[in-house]
Structures are given as C-alpha cells and as structure tokens.
C-alpha cells in the first residue's frame, strides 16, 4: 500500500534532509556570491550549467542534508515509534545517509540545469516537473546505493513534493514574496 499513514511516516523521514538541502540552499545563497561550478564555461551557445549552480550551494546543500540526518539519528530513540501497530521501515539515519541524500539532491539539481541549458532555457527559467523533481530523483538514486528504496516512497514522495510546491508558492505569493502564484 502506498497511501497509508505508515508509508507517509517512512517517506517524511527521508524527505526532511532532502528538503533541507534543496530548500535552504537558495536562502543561504542570497547572502553569498557563489563561484559557478562551470566556471563560466560554455557548451555550444549556452552556459554549461549557469550561475545558478555554485560550489558553495553544492557544499551547503550537502552539509544541510548531513546536519538534518544527524538530528534525526539523535532523535530516533526518543520518538514514539511504538504508537504504530505495524513495524515501520524507517531507514537508519547516519552521516553517510545524510550525505547521500543532500549530495544526491544537489547533483540531481545540477544535472537538471545541464539539460535546461541544452534546451536553451536560461537560468531561472521554469521547466515544470523537472524543476520540482530533479532533486528528489537524485536523492533517491544516491540513497539506493545503501538502502533498498521502496516504490511507495518514490510515488508518495513525488506526490507530496508536487503538492508541497504548489502550496508553498501560493503562500509565497499571498505574503508578497513572489510575484506570481506559480
Ligand atoms: N544555488 C547555488 N548552487 C547550487 C544550487 C542552487 O548557488 N548548486 C542557488 C542559486 O543562487 C540559485 C538558487 O540556489 O539561483 C535556486 O536554485 P535553482 O532554482 O536550482 O537555480 P536557478 O537559479 O533556477 O537556475 P537553473 O535554471 O539552472 O535551475
Ligand atoms: Mg530554478
């Protein structure tokens, strides 16, 4: 079953480090001038990756993934797992798992930018689905190196991420942080 509360708990546990990596990096990079990963290099008539992909962002996002995974690792013994009538497949958080989730998220995002530039979309141009799911795909791919990733997590994680994205943008629009509700 995918649409049950158990899968929801299992996937939320995995999403925290991923969202921290992907969501906090743009906030952090507002205060920093990053060094572009592509070093300004071109491929054809477009940038290889663009100024939106910096070493600082890659490093910070990966680091945030590790930090949140360690917080979960330390919190694990104190959480009320016995409330669940069935045994949950909660993945064991370690700094390595945090690294894989954070780095995977950031690399998924880098790969997406590579393809966006090849499609002649410049920095910041919206490509629906790719923009919202690149980091999730990258994180799950890296996680699969050390954990058997369940399809339910991927399906529910995708749905949650898309819904979360819509809600977050509408709120950002209403409070005036964004000019458009998408
Ligand atoms: N960012 C960064 N380095 C990364 C990833 C993100 O510095 N490796 C920062 C950049 O300031 C970027 C912002 O986070 O502008 C938002 O990330 P994203 O939406 O992925 O980048 P875009 O600017 O939209 O560029 P692209 O079109 O390449 O996705
Ligand atoms: Mg973008």
Q: What is the pLDDT of residues 85-123, one digit of tens each?
A: 999 999 999 999 999 999 999 999 999 999 999 999 999
Cα–Cα distances in angstroms (integers) from residue 115 to residues 4, 27, 42, 122, 166, in the given order = 35, 24, 13, 11, 23
Cβ-contact 11, 154 below 8 angstroms:
no
Query: Strand, coil or helix: what is 23?
Result: helix
Least distant ligand from the CA of 138:
1
Record the tokens describing residue 9, joined without a space.
Answer: 């708990």
Least distant ligand from the CA of 115:
1
Q: Cα(10)–Cα(107) distance, rounded to whole angstroms?
A: 23
Other Cβ atoms less than 10 A from the Cβ of 142: the count is 23
| pLDDT average, residue stretch 30-41 | 97
Among candidates 93, 42, 40, 39, which has minimal Cα distance to 69?
93
Confidence band, pLDDT 50/70/90 cuts, at residue 2? confident
Q: Cα(92)–Cα(139) distance, rounded to whole angstroms?
A: 16
**Ligand 1 — pocket residues by CB below 6 A?**
25-26, 29, 34, 50, 52-54, 57-58, 106, 109, 113, 116, 123-125
Residue 126: per-residue pLDDT: 94
Cβ-contact 14, 157 below 8 angstroms:
yes
pLDDT of 22 > 70? The answer is yes
Q: Sign (positive/negative) of CA torsion 16, 18, 19, 24?
A: positive
Confidence band, pLDDT 50/70/90 cuts, at residue 7? very high
pLDDT of 81 > 90? The answer is yes
Task: Give the mean pLDDT of the chain.
Answer: 96
| pLDDT average, residue stretch 166-174 | 93
Task: Give the distance (Å) from ligand 1 centre to CA of residue 82.
Answer: 40
pLDDT of 156 > 70? The answer is yes
Alpha helices in the chain (DSSP H): 5-28, 55-75, 95-118, 130-143, 151-174
Residue 47 parent element (H or E): strand 46-47
pLDDT of 1 > 70? The answer is no
């Amino acid at each position: 079953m995918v649409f049950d509360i158990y899968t929801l708990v299992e996937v939320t546990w995995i999403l925290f480090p991923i969202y921290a990596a992907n969501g906090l990096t743009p906030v952090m990079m507002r205060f920093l001038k990053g060094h572009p990963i592509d070093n300004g290099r071109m491929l054809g008539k477009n940038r290889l990756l663009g100024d939106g992909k910096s070493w600082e962002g890659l490093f910070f996002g990966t680091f945030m993934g590790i930090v949140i995974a360690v917080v979960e690792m330390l919190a694990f013994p104190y959480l009320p797992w016995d409330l669940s009538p069935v045994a949950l497949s909660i993945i064991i958080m370690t700094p390595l798992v945090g690294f894989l989730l954070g780095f995977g998220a950031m690399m998924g995002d880098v790969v997406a930018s590579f393809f966006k530039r090849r499609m002649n979309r410049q920095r910041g141009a919206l490509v629906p689905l790719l923009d919202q799911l690149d980091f999730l795909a990258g994180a799950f791919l890296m996680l699969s190196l050390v954990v058997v990733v369940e399809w339910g997590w991927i399906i529910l994680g995708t749905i949650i991420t898309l819904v979360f994205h819509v809600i977050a943008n509408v709120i950002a629009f209403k409070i005036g942080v964004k000019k458009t509700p998408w």
